[in-house]
Amino acid sequence: MRISTLSAAFIAPALAAPTTSQASSTKVVYANSGHIYLASYDGSKFTTAVNSSFPNTDPSWLAFVPPNSLYAVNDIASNTFLYNINTNTNTIKQTTNKQGSGGVVHLEANKAGTRMLGAGYGSGKIDVWNIENGGLSLIKSITSPGPLGPDPDRQDAPHPHQTVNDPTGRYFFANDLGTDSILVIDSQNDAFNIVNRMAVVPAGSGPRHGVFYPFGAAKATHYFLLCEMGNVVISYKLNYTDNGKGIEFTTTQVLNTFGPNSQKPAGAGAGELVLSPDNKDLYLSNRLTGQATDNIAHIKLIDNGADNVQLLWINSVSSGGTGPRMFSISNDGSSLFVTNQDGALGVAAISRNATDGSLDTKFHGTISNSAFGGQGPQYIKQIQ
Ligand SMILES: *[C@@H]1O[C@H](CO)[C@@H](O)[C@H](O)[C@H]1NC(C)=O
Ligand SMILES: *[C@@H]1O[C@H](CO)[C@@H](O)[C@H](O)[C@H]1NC(C)=O
Ligand SMILES: *[C@@H]1O[C@H](CO)[C@@H](O)[C@H](O)[C@H]1NC(C)=O
């Protein structure tokens, strides 16, 4: 019973028709080193209701699991935290923390809200947690196998950066920056074994974040992968197989994150990749661009039918600061919520045109980076 309730809660926002006005009840969590915040966003401003200090934590990634669980990594150690978050009483309380692998930078719950994977960038391991009934207990840690990519500095060891649950809920893809590969992890019977390892990126690209396409479907036809070091988005066509490998990939397109034929600034490192809930647009953050501010790029998804989807780079807009490590899209698709680790704006809401997916260059709702005491935020997401 509990599982089906949770599933409904996960699916509901995806099925909601996109609207142009932001519901006044939109609640977001955001975080910087040592702090987690709860705010409402009304389409023109953020009102922060909770500003909580949690010393010796670095919650660089959070995962909200309805109704009240908020999980957080600790980027500077090896524990994963569980908070109880209540949007009625405006409280965030630390309830427990458990030891896992070191340097976890991303958390993702499965579709049923019963298991959660943590990508241990620092340790090269992927933690599997039991989160049933709002709990937190470690089931196993998976070691990401090599071989390593060619960059001696960034690819000195396996560095799983993210694990993403596929639409069936059965598989997780782990993007490993250190080994230029995507691991396919099969959760069937709670085994969480690596059943396939696809080294399907140009050498030295450094896979970071990915999204399954289409959003809200029973099965994915494509996976879009953002590579941090190569500053490319790669489109893969997927094949769910019955040969024991779970899912196989075919590369269909490789696109420069700065646009076709554009110069990539030396040292640039793409950060986040987001798919709009209407499946029409992809957005990504370009970091370390050397410009006054970094940017969010817009890529149109052209669906030609018969599982032929083409990525068309449109343009980019300012992120409002520098170091947009992470950003997210509102459930109704009307706003991007962006965090910048440095520069003027720590948080900026960017309005998205529901018709053509274009991004407004004027910010709607901002929080100055001065409110973060030199430790700009790294995570923001709508939870309600
Ligand atoms: C998908 O994988 C199966 C093996 O499970 C294979 O028989 C089939 O040809 C593959 N389809 C494509 C389009 O590659
Ligand atoms: C949204 O895009 C459509 C199509 O390009 C355009 O006609 C409309 O004016 C845009 N809306 C806003 C608010 O800019
Ligand atoms: C959080 O509260 C502190 C102390 O009142 C304040 O200095 C800081 O600006 C607040 N930060 C945010 C992001 O609201």
Domains in the chain, ordered, with CATH? 29-382 (2.130.10.10)
Closest CA to 345 of 382, 380, 314: 380
Model confidence at 200, in pLDDT bands (50, 70, 90)? Answer: confident
pLDDT of residue 10: 39
For residue 326, pLDDT beyond 60? yes
Nearest-CA residue for ligand 3 atom 6 is 371
Ligand nearest to the CA of 53: 3
Q: Are 163 and 172 in contact (CB under 8 A)?
A: yes
CA 20 to ligand 2: nearest atom: 13
Closest CA to 254 of 232, 230, 284, 231: 232
List residues bridging with 119 in a β-sheet: 106, 126
Q: What is the pLDDT of residues 336-374, one digit of tens each?
A: 999 999 999 999 999 999 999 999 999 999 999 999 998
As a whole number of angstroms, the distance between CA 379 and CA 72 comes to 11
Model confidence at 318, in pLDDT bands (50, 70, 90)? Answer: very high
- Amino acid at site 148: L
Nearest-CA residue for ligand 2 atom 12 is 353
Q: What is the pLDDT of residues 55-108, one digit of tens each?
A: 999 999 999 999 999 999 998 999 999 999 999 999 999 999 999 999 999 999
CA 241 to ligand 1: nearest atom: 5
> Within its chain, how far is the Cα of 309 from the centroid?
22
As a whole number of angstroms, the distance between CA 325 and CA 53 comes to 21
pLDDT of residue 25: 82
Model confidence at 306, in pLDDT bands (50, 70, 90)? Answer: confident
Q: Which secondary-structure segment (H or E) carries 15?
A: helix 2-15
Q: What is the pLDDT of residues 211-225, one digit of tens each?
A: 999 999 999 999 999
**18-22, 162-166, 220-224, 380-384: segment of lowest average pLDDT:** 18-22
307 pocket-lining for ligand 1 (C-beta < 6 Å): no
In this structure, the residues whose C-beta lies within 6 A of any atom of ligand 2 are 353, 355-356
Residue 243 CA to ligand 1 centre (angstroms):
9
Residue 238 CA to ligand 1 centre (angstroms):
10
Average pLDDT, the chain: 93
Which of the two residues, 18 and 42, has the higher pLDDT score? 42
Ligand nearest to the CA of 306: 1
- State both tokens at 283: 């957005």
Residue 251 CA to ligand 1 centre (angstroms):
15
239 pocket-lining for ligand 1 (C-beta < 6 Å): yes
Task: Provide, rounded to the nearest whole percent, the portion of the chain with pLDDT above 70.
Answer: 94
Ligand nearest to the CA of 280: 2
Model confidence at 272, in pLDDT bands (50, 70, 90)? Answer: very high
End-to-end CA distance of the chain: 21
pTM greater than the 0.85 cutoff: yes
> Within its chain, how far is the Cα of 34 from the centroid?
20
Ligand nearest to the CA of 362: 2
- Amino acid at site 121: Y
CA 242 to ligand 1: nearest atom: 5
pLDDT of residue 24: 61
Nearest-CA residue for ligand 1 atom 13 is 239
Nearest-CA residue for ligand 1 atom 2 is 241
